[in-house]
Amino acid sequence: MFLSLEVSGLAILIAVILGIPFGVFLGLHRFPGRNLIVTLVNTGMGFPPVVVGLFVFLLLARSGPLGSFNLLYTPWAMIIAQIIIALPLVVGVTMAGIQSIEEKLKYQILALGASGFQYLLKLLKEGQLIILSALAAGFGSIISEVGAVMMVGGNIKGQTRVLTTAIVLETRQGEYSLAIALGLILLLIALLLNLLFTYLQQRRLS
C-alpha cells in the first residue's frame, strides 16, 4: 500500500510540475504546429497503459538506450511509466480549463497592468478547480493501473509489488479473500482521495 502511494504520488507530482505549465502554454498561445501537439496530447489521454509499459520496457531494457542505468524492475521504472500515462491527462485538462476562462477576464487582468508572471498567477488562481481536476484525473489513472507497472516493475515482492499487481497475483493463486481485501484497500484509498479533492473543489466554490 505504501509503495503504491509512494510510486503514484511521486509520478503525479512530476506530471503536475511538467504538465500544468505546458497545459497553460497550450491554452494561451497559438503557433505553427500547435494543432499537431494538441492532437498528440489528446491521443495520449487515451493511450493504452500496456503500450506505455512496452515502450518503457524497451527503453530501459539492457539493450535499450537507457539500459545502462539499470532502472528496469525498480520503482523508478514504474514511476516513469506512470508519468507518461498521467502527463497527457494533466496537460489536456489544464489546457481545456485555461481555454474555458473568459477572454474578458484575461484582457481585464492585462489592462490592470499585470506583468506576465502576475498574469499567469492570476489565471492559475482562477483555475484552481482546473488544477484539482487535472490532479484527480491524473492520479486516478495511475493508482489503479496494472499493465504497465507489472511489465516494467516485475511485481517483485518487497520491491516493486503494489496493490494492483498484488491483487492480480493473489487472484491467480486462488487467494480470493486476500485479493478482495487488497481491492477494498485500493477502493478506500481512491475514495479518501476523491473526498479530499471534492472538499477542496466545493470549498473553492463556496
Instruction: Going from the first residue of the chain to its last (206 residues), give the mean pLDDT of each consecutive group of 10, the final group possibly shorter.
Output: 93 93 88 93 90 95 92 95 94 86 72 73 74 83 90 92 94 94 92 82 66
User: Distance (Å, rounded) from C-alpha 52 to C-alpha 57?
Assistant: 8
Task: Read off the C-alpha cell for 175.
Answer: 487467494
Per-residue pLDDT, 195? 86
Per-residue pLDDT, 108? 77
Q: Considering the domain boundaries, does residue 205 fall inside one?
A: no
Per-residue pLDDT, 109? 72
Residue with cell 495511475: 142
User: Distance (Å, rounded) from C-alpha 50 to C-alpha 149?
Assistant: 9
Q: Considering the domain boundaries, does residue 182 fall inside one?
A: no
**Which domain, by its residues, includes 130?**
2-162
Q: Considering the domain boundaries, does residue 29 fall inside one?
A: yes
Q: Considering the domain boundaries, does residue 104 fall inside one?
A: yes
How much of the chain is helix, strand and coil, in % rounded to 5? 80, 0, 20
Q: 34-45 and 75-100 helices cross at what angle (nearest 10)?
A: 120
Amino acid at position 13, single letter: L
Per-residue pLDDT, 13? 93
Domain count, the chain: 1
Where residue 125 sits, what CATH number does that domain have? 1.10.3720.10
Per-residue pLDDT, 166? 94
The gap from C-alpha 190 to its chain's centroid, in whole angstroms, comes to 14
